[in-house]
């Protein structure tokens, strides 16, 4: 699949325009391309109780599943600030993206696309849960 990174960044930038960021002033948008060609977006939603703030990637993965596109794994993700420049996902969001797209998911960076497994080495996965689950 050919990934149109400028179009993905543009979709992320449009999502950032809809962000709710009254506390940090940092609007963030995320756009993901699924294996069946759909583009899904999300934006950050802040809260005065900072711990309840939702990252743009959280909105993206939620929209992915809510739209029914969740059956198609994410292939590529662009996360940008309101100025359209790439931002790297935080650790929590890298974990969230791992479950939505796997270790080969391409993440846009200022230096170009990078596989998620490079940004999240030795990731904790569902296989770890299954292998370590205690018998009842």
Active site residues: 57
DSSP 78-134: EEEETTS-B-PPPHHHHHHHHHHH-TT-EE--TT--EEHHHHSTT---HHHHHHHPP
d(CA 58, CA 118): 20
Helices 91-101 and 56-66, interaxial angle, to 10°? Answer: 20
d(CA 114, CA 42): 20
């Amino acid at each position: 699949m050919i990934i149109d990174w400028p179009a993905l960044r543009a979709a992320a930038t449009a999502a950032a325009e809809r962000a709710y960021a009254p506390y940090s002033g940092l609007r963030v948008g995320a756009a993901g391309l699924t294996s069946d060609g759909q583009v899904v977006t999300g934006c950050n939603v802040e809260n005065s109780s900072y711990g309840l703030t939702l990252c743009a990637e959280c909105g993206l993965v939620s929209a992915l599943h809510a739209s029914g596109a969740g059956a198609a794994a994410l292939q590529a993700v662009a996360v940008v600030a309101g100025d359209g420049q790439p931002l790297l996902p935080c650790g929590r969001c890298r974990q969230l993206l791992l479950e939505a797209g796997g270790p080969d998911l391409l993440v846009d960076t200022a230096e170009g696309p990078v596989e998620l497994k490079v940004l999240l080495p030795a990731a904790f996965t569902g296989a770890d849960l299954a292998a370590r689950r205690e018998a009842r």
